[in-house]
Every structure is written in structure tokens, then in C-alpha cells.
Structure 1
Amino acid sequence: MTKKRIVILSGALLCFAFIAFIVVNSMRSGEAIGFDTAIRNGILEWRNQKLNPILIGITYLGNSNTIIFLCILLLFFKRSRVEYGMPLAIAVTCSSTIQTLIKIAVQRPRPPVENFLIPQGGFSFPSGHSCSGLVFYGLFAYLLFHKAVDKIVYKVAGSLFIVLFAAIGMSRIYVGVHYPTDVLGGWALGLAILITAISIMEKLNKK
């Protein structure tokens, strides 16, 4: 792993640990996190009948069922199986396992259910959609850059994927099922997993 990646990985893990510390402390004290309240209230004010179906659609792009379907699709075709399907499926599986274990350990309740635009169960921290979205779409963009013959494909797809996983995180707050710190924690954890996955994959490719 390069020094640059070590710095990014360390920063992502420290960021996640800091956010987790704040979340756990707020749960113990019973006091709301001011950052969460301010950002969440601001985003909920954006709600309207035109934006609702768009943001609900975006949030489902980070859904485990959607990502699993895309992985199966890539694994089904021989051309994409080894280069895209297998790395993405393994990375997403690891991401899902790690975030689930953390959710169980922290056990942060979700925001008030009366603000939900979609049905959602389980614990809140970290945001699984934000974490898996960053890992899946981020790794997909990386693979396109290294596998695609036409670099324009990467530039377009990579830019779309970056916008997409950022939009997925924001949509989780908009639909009312996550606090902002859940999303930030999911992004930090997802970045750490993504950097690790890329480094392991490159090491295996060299061998």
C-alpha cells in the first residue's frame, strides 16, 4: 500500500472513530447532536411532491437488493465476471458484514418514524446505503479506469458514480431514515474499505 493510501486510510478510520465516539456519547447522555439536528431539519425542509419520488428512487440505488442484483448481473456474463463481478461482489460482501457488525455493536435507534418516507428497520449507525454505495460505485469507477480501453468511459462513469454515492447518502437523510452523522460515518467507513479493497486487489494482480 502506498504512503498516500495509508494516509487516506488512516484519515478515514480516524474520522469514523471520531464520529462513532460522538454518536455513542450522545446515546449515553440522551442529548441530541446539534450538528445532526441542524442539518437534518434543513434537509427535511426541502421536501416537496416533486423531489420525493426522485430522492426515494436515488436511495434505492444504494439498497442491498439493487447492489446484489448488479453484482449478479456482472457475474452472469463471462466478459465482466472476473474483471468486475468478482471484485465488486467480494468488496460489497465484506462491506455489508462489517457495517452490520458495527450497527449491532452501537445499536443507535433510527430517527422518529413519523418522518419516514419509506419503510426501514434495523439500527441507524452507520448508514449501510452510504457505506455500500461508496464501496460499490467507487470500486466500479476504479475498475473502469483500469480496465476500460476508452478513458472517456471512466471519466463519464466515474463522475456519475461519485455524484451517485454522494446523492445516495444525502437521500438517506431526506427520506428520514438516517441522521447526518450516520451518513458521514458510512462514508468514512466505506472509504476505508474501498482503499483496502483496491490495495488488496492490486497486490493479488501483481502476484
Structure 2
Amino acid sequence: MGLESIKNYRKYIVISLMLLVIDLICFYQGYFEKIDETFYQFLASFQSEHITMLMKTITFFGSTVGVVMVCLICCLFHFQKGLLVSVHVAIVAIMNQIIKVIVARPRPSVIHLVEENSYSFPSAHAMVSMTLFGLIAYWLYPRHRYLAILILVIPIFIGMTRIYLGVHYTSDIIAGFLFSITYLSIVISLMKNHKWPSFS
């Protein structure tokens, strides 16, 4: 791989790390409180029986069962690629649980439309789904560019469902995405630059 390509991957790592650090500073300074409240109220204004059913269906694909199901499907299409996706998803899931315990943020004090018992920050659904579908999109992008872009929309919708369902703050979702994007930028850079097992 050329020097210019290596520099580009390093640039992505630096940018993602900077965004993550800024996000964490804003979180600990309480700058997200108004955004958390406003965005929840906006989504909650659309609450209805049918929309709630739709949101529960979408959020399923970020749950443990949904993620395992997608990983198994990946393995059926291509075992090595599916296995690599599964391993990275498992690593991110463990990281998420460690961060949750360290931060220990309670769930939002609103009506929960689904049951959740763990801590709130960062969102596991957002963090894991961005890793899962981000890797799938990276795998597909060279030959199926538009499908890859479409797949990247899935974790965004999953994140929105968590806010709508009342079990996460917007700041939980943003942090989950940024943790995942930072992880992905590092892992993809290592795979490309140091000939780790990759998707090519």
C-alpha cells in the first residue's frame, strides 16, 4: 500500500479520536443535557402503537439475538469474513460493558417502552450495530457501493429507536457511534497496513 493511503487511514484515526474526545468532554461538562431532552421530546411526539411496533422491530437488529443472527448470516455467505465480523463485534460488545460500568450512567427517567436493566452510557445497540454494519459495508463497498451506503443507515435508525423507546439519551447514542467509528478506523488501518486478516 502506498504512503499516501497509509496517511489517509492515519488521518481518519486522528479525526475519529478527536471527535470522540470532544464528545466525552461535552458529555462530562453536561453540554448534551438540552439536546438529550429536546430530541427525546421530538421523537416521543410521534409515539403511537404502530410506530412503537416498528421501532421495536428495528431495534431488534441491534440486540444480542439480532446481532448474532446477522453474524451467522455473514458466516453463511463467507465464513472467514463472517468470523472476522463476529470477533470484532464481540470485542466491541465487551468494551461497551466495561465503559458502562466505569461511567455508571442511569437510564433516562422517562417511560421505557422496552425493558433494560444495565447502565445507559454508551449505547450498546449503537456501538455494536455500527461495528457490525460498518464492517459489512466496508466489505461490500468495493463491488456494491450503494448497498454499502444503504447498510450504514441501519445503525443510525437503530440508534434513533433507542431514544424513542426511552432507554437511551441522545448522548449515549452519539458516544456509542464515535467509540465504534474510532475502533473501526484503527482496525481497518491495521488490516490494511500490516496485512492482518482482512476482507479483500
| Normalised-by-shorter TM-score class | 0.7 to 0.9
Structure 2 counterpart of 1:174, one-letter code: Y
CA-CA distance at 1:97 after TM superposition: 1.4
Structure 2 unaligned segments of length 5 or more: list them.
Answer: none
Alignment of 1:47-196 (within 5 A): 47-75=47-75, 77=76, 80-82=78-80, 84-112=81-109, 114-146=110-142, 151=143, 154-196=144-186
Tell me what 2:196 maps to: 204
* Residue 87 of structure 1, CA deviation: 1.3
User: 1:190 and 1:205 mapped to 2: Cα distance?
Assistant: 19
Give the distance between the partners of 1:177 and 1:57, measured in 2 at CA: 15
Q: Distance in 2 between matches of 1:124 and 1:19?
A: 16
Give the partner amino acid of 1:182.
D
Do 2:32 and 2:171's aligned partners in 1 also have CA atoms closer than 8 Å?
Answer: no
Tell me the CA shift for residue 47 of structure 1: 1.3
Whose helix proportion is higher, 1 or 2? Answer: 1
State how 1:5-84 maps to structure 2 within 5 Å. 5-26=9-30, 33-75=33-75, 77=76, 80-82=78-80, 84=81
Change (3 A) 1:144 1:33: same
Aligned residues: 192
For the 8 Å contact 2:20–2:182, the answer to whether it is kept is no
Residues 16 and 185 in structure 2, CA contact (< 8 A), matched pair in contact too: no
Q: Percent identity?
A: 24
Question: 1:158 corresponds to which letter in structure 2?
Answer: A
Provide the TM-score with structure 1 as the length reference: 0.84
Q: CA deviation at 1:191?
A: 0.5
Q: Aligned to 1:181, what secondary structure does the other structure show?
A: helix
Q: CA RMSD in A?
A: 2.1
Deviation at 1:3, TM superposition (A): 2.3
- Secondary structure at the aligned position of 1:115 is classed as coil
Single out whichever of 65-74 and 84-93 deviates more from structure 2: 65-74
Q: How does the TM-score come out when normalised to structure 2?
A: 0.86
The runs of 5 or more residues in structure 1 that have no matched partner are none
